[in-house]
Amino acid sequence: MNLLNVFEQINTVDPEFSDRISPRREAIKNLASISKKITFATLPFFVSELFKKAYGATAPTDVNGVLNYALTLEYLEAEYYTMGVAKAGLIPSGKPLGAITNIRDHEIAHVNFLKQVLGNKAVSKPTFDFTAGGTFGNVFSNYDTFLAVAQAFEDTGVRAYKGQAGILLGNRVVLTAALQIHSVEARHASHIRQMRRARGGAAADQKPWITGSNDTGIGAVVDPIYAGENNIIQAGVDITSLSGHMGKISSNAATQAFDEPLAAEAVLNIAGLFIKA
Amino acid sequence: MKKITSKTALTSISDSEIEKKDFRRRDFLKLTGASIASIAILGMTSCKKDHDNDMDNSGKGMYFGSGDIAILNYAYALEQLEAAFYIHLVNNPYSGISEMEKAFFTDLRDHEIAHREFFKMALGAKAISSLEFNLSGINFSSRASVLATAKTFEDLGVSAYNGAGWLIKDPNYLLLAGKIVSVEARHAAWVRDMIDNGSFANQEVVDSNGLDLAKSPSVVLSAAAPFIKSKIDVKDLPTY
């Protein structure tokens, strides 16, 4: 399948494209505004002008925008794991190094795939600062910090893709590919959560799925990444009002069973902390 | 069924290809050789009188509806299957099950019940009734058999949502599918790691572009058919 060719045709052959996505965008905005409000209320971060400079725009509004938004996040993850794997003595050899290397290879594959789809419309790679201006100063010397930031990236990635699905509605090639990347990020998140759980300490009770909001043990610094994950209302249905195995479905199960999207603005704010220029 | 017109197809699929999305038994049979065996099983089962369903007004099985409703019923059917499996598993744990495995399988059971009950509520009068399943091929006293089945179901669920996403017309339904599929992927990764630590996203499920599996509804139903006792009518379920 020639992805590039198909992609070109979306923009050129389809004159009603923007007409059709605008009502959808409205719907997405309405859905997103809930999580956006929560996010900004708890946000200790500032809007990153640096990210805007690197990315050249704010929230994506079209297919190209979504792909470049995804590409930027994949650049971030690919470089992060590449640096982590390259740092001697950071990741224990054997299963841990094997898993992180596997994840690194997926993120590099995502970068290459998205660049291929975007062709000359692809944004270039920003310059990253994985210490987030010193917040995670030991990110490449302390294995637990490295895993904590990895988990933050993976759980953010899952939420970020979900938040953009509506713009890709009905798009066989691009939506399907985005979903295929999205579930790989979720597999990564599950595994890294298991790795952190096995390390014990603050993450000892953490599960491969997200319970409530910020179950990470990392602290308030990652609150914006999990804001709204404690939602128990789906399409107007209170999940805890439904019948479970015995009695009603618990609040924990209700939040675990549905991962929540994150509005692009919130994702950009989070990613922006790790971007220098 | 409502035809999918070129107006709603964002990609460059030709009209003749779009026509194929109308689910027809003949096309179903043409899709894969493997599916034929599964359909035969389904057909034979459905001939037995004791499996006739009360909701079956047409004599053709439980009707899933068309368009988004059919896709929601398709998801509802898969969630019913997963829930039934985990309910049985937690009620009949294999010997030597660890505390962590028991706790996490209980979580999986409760997640799938939440998905199942959500779809039932969201579909309202358009929901198919409860399906009957055949889990007799699974050895619930064997950890290996249980984990292998869980892996099959979770990977299948991920591929089902990934493959059906672009067929969904309503952005709210698409978002809901997205909220559920990543949880299924978290499950799949955990189950796989229980079988072999580090296999959470191996080459069985992730290709060289870093992409997970995506399967059409017809392919997924073929894979699920051996487990589904009830007779189902998916002639208007969008597929490709």
Tokens 């619930």 sit at which residue?
A: B140
pLDDT at A109: 98
Q: Which of 101-140 (A) contact B at CB < 8 A?
A: 102-103, 105-110, 112-113
Q: Which residues of A touch B13 (CB under 8 A)?
A: 172
Are A246 and A203 spatial neighbours (Cβ–Cβ below 8 Å)? no
* DSSP track, A134-184: TTTTTTTT-HHHHHHHHHHHHHHHHHHHHHHGGGGTT-HHHHHHHHHHHHH
pLDDT at A159: 97
Residues of chain B with pLDDT > 70, as a percent, come to 75
Q: In terms of CA atoms, which chain B residue is nearest residue A244?
A: B113
In three-state secondary structure terms, A93 is coil
pLDDT at A259: 98
Separation of CA B17 from chain center: 24
Of A169, A179, A242, the CB nearest to B214: A179
Q: Which of 178-207 (A) contact B at CB < 8 A?
A: 179-191, 193-194, 207
d(CA A58, CA A43): 18
- pTM to 2 decimals? 0.81
- Report CB contact under 8 Å: B186, A188: no
In three-state secondary structure terms, A248 is strand
Q: Complex ipTM, two decimals?
A: 0.82
- Report CB contact under 8 Å: B190, A188: no
The C-alpha of B3 sits at a distance from chain A's nearest C-alpha, in angstroms, of 14
Q: Kindly state whether B75 is in contact with chain A, defined as any CB-CB distance less than 8 angstroms.
A: no
- Report CB contact under 8 Å: B210, A107: yes
The C-alpha of B133 sits at a distance from chain A's nearest C-alpha, in angstroms, of 18
- Report CB contact under 8 Å: A166, B12: no
- Report CB contact under 8 Å: B172, A245: no
Q: Which of 152-171 (A) contact B at CB < 8 A?
A: 158, 161-162, 165-166, 169-171
Q: Copy the structure tokens of residue B127.
A: 């929901």
Q: Cα–Cα distances in Å, from B199 out to A102, B148, B193, B204?
A: 10, 13, 6, 9
β-pairing verdict for B62-63 and B232-233: parallel
Q: Which of 224-263 (A) contact B at CB < 8 A?
A: 234-235, 237, 239, 242-245, 249-250, 253-254, 256-261
A30 or A161, which is more confident: A161
Local confidence band at B34 (pLDDT 50, 70, 90 cut-offs): very low
Q: Kindly state whether B208 is in contact with chain A, defined as any CB-CB distance less than 8 angstroms.
A: yes
The C-alpha of A75 sits at a distance from chain B's nearest C-alpha, in angstroms, of 14
Average pLDDT score over chain A:
84
The C-alpha of B143 sits at a distance from chain A's nearest C-alpha, in angstroms, of 20
Please compute Rg for chain B using Cα positions.
18
Q: Kindly state whether B43 is in contact with chain A, defined as any CB-CB distance less than 8 angstroms.
A: no
Are B158 and B212 spatial neighbours (Cβ–Cβ below 8 Å)? yes
- Report CB contact under 8 Å: A175, B165: yes
Residues of chain A with pLDDT > 90, as a percent, come to 77
Residue B61, amino acid: G
Q: Which residues of A touch B18 (CB under 8 A)?
A: none
Q: Kindly state whether A4 is in contact with chain B, defined as any CB-CB distance less than 8 angstroms.
A: no
- Report CB contact under 8 Å: A180, B212: yes
* DSSP track, chain B: -----TTT--S---HHHHHTTS--HHHHHHH-HHHHHHHHHHHHHHHSGGG--TT-SSSS-EE--SHHHHHHHHHHHHHHHHHHHHHHHHHSPPTT--HHHHHHHHHHHHHHHHHHHHHHHHHGGGS--PPPB--TTS-TT-HHHHHHHHHHHHHHHHHHHHHHGGG---HHHHHHHHHHHHHHHHHHHHHHHHHSTT-TT-TTT--TTS------HHHHHHHHGGGB-S-EE-TTS---
- Report CB contact under 8 Å: B118, A24: no
Per DSSP, A64 falls in state H
* C-beta neighbour count of A43 within 10 angstroms: 17
Tokens 């399907």 sit at which residue?
A: A176
Chain segment B156-183, per-residue pLDDT in tens: 999 999 999 999 999 999 999 999 999 9
The C-alpha of A67 sits at a distance from chain B's nearest C-alpha, in angstroms, of 15
Are B8 and B169 spatial neighbours (Cβ–Cβ below 8 Å)? yes
Q: Which residues of A touch B8 (CB under 8 A)?
A: 20, 170
Chain A interface mutation, best of B17, B104, B155, B182, highest count of A Cβ atoms under 10 Å? B182
Q: Copy the structure tokens of residue A30.
A: 């309405």
Chain segment A58-112, per-residue pLDDT in tens: 689 999 999 999 999 999 999 999 999 999 999 999 999 999 999 999 999 999 9
Local confidence band at B59 (pLDDT 50, 70, 90 cut-offs): low
Compute the count of residue pairs across chains A and B with CB atoms less than 8 Å apart: 230
A256 or B57, which is more confident: A256
Average pLDDT over residues A134-156: 96
β-pairing verdict for A233-234 and A237-238: antiparallel
- Report CB contact under 8 Å: B175, A13: no
d(CA A110, CA A188): 13
d(CA A256, CA B110): 9
Q: In terms of CA atoms, which chain B residue is nearest residue A166?
A: B171
Chain segment A147-180, per-residue pLDDT in tens: 999 999 999 999 999 999 999 999 999 999 999 9
The C-alpha of B101 sits at a distance from chain A's nearest C-alpha, in angstroms, of 12
Chain segment A227-273, per-residue pLDDT in tens: 999 999 999 999 999 999 999 999 999 999 999 999 999 999 999 99
d(CA B69, CA B1): 11
